[in-house]
Amino acid sequence: MKYKTGEKPGKGSYTCTNCSTIVNLDDDSDRLPPCPKCNGVEYTK
């Protein structure tokens, strides 16, 4: 399952598909940001 920047996939840890940086969302209403390291827009959970 893939997730993109701007989506609200819910709490959890998401891994950038480009550089494997992990982004944590603490709230179900948080949107996925662009990857802080590579500016990527696609994640896996």
Among 3, 25, 40, 43, binds Zn ion (CB under 5 A): 40
Distance of CA 25 to the CA centre of its chain: 8
Q: Does 19 bind Zn ion (CB under 5 A)?
A: yes
Beta bridge partners of 42: 4
Give the nearest distance from C-beta 14 to Zn ion in angstroms.
10
Among 14, 16, 23, 32, binds Zn ion (CB under 5 A): 16
Cα atoms in the 13 Å half-sphere on the side-chain side of 28:
0
Distance of CA 8 to the CA centre of its chain: 9
Residue numbers of the site for Zn ion (CB under 5 A)?
16, 18-19, 21, 35, 37-38, 40
